[in-house]
Amino acid sequence: MTELVDNQILPANEHYAAEHGNDKKPMPPARKFAVVTCMDARLDPARFLGLEEGDAHVIRNAGGIVTDDALRSLVISHNLLGTEEVLVIGHTDCGMLTFKDEDVQAQLDTDIVLHAFPNLEDRIRESVRTVSESPLLPDAVSGFVYEVETGRLRPVA
């Protein structure tokens, strides 16, 4: 184990477990929605959406993009666990706006697709469209920009 794990992660988990008790929440999310958002450490979806444990599925990746893997999770969330709505949430000051896939691929000598994008709102609209065009997902899908500067959500038409 690393020093981080030994000195910070495991003690924090022990504190959490001591307060957690024997909570038997059902597997399906209580509020019946799923969120796709960015992995950025400045975003805490539970806090800015007013969520408690068990309320919603939160799928995170770089950019908050509905990739094939996010789509797979949404299909499971909707069809097997009863979610009825999807929120796609991008954010201001996103790192995915700061580079091009080709540049990083060349630098790292890889062909991994990173899904960088030049326009935040267009990227959100594209992810919303991906969800809405899937016959395996609910029709209720909305896109938002989370403003890291204010903590507010702004709808994307």
pLDDT given at position 146: 98
pLDDT given at position 29: 97
CATH 3.40.1050.10 corresponds to the domain 30-156: yes
157 residues of the chain, pLDDT tens digit each:
999 999 999 999 999 988 887 678 899 999 999 999 999 999 999 999 999 999 999 999 999 999 999 999 999 999 999 999 999 999 999 999 999 999 999 999 999 999 999 999 999 999 999 999 999 999 999 999 999 999 999 999 9
pLDDT given at position 20: 84
What residue has token string 């000051």? 93
CA distances (Å), origin 82, targets 29, 32, 59, 71, 99: 8, 6, 16, 15, 37
pLDDT given at position 35: 98
Residue 32: Cβ within 10 Å count:
18
What residue has token string 């020093």? 3
| Cα atoms in the 13 Å half-sphere on the side-chain side of 84 | 4
| 29 and 56 Cβ atoms separated by less than 8 Å | yes
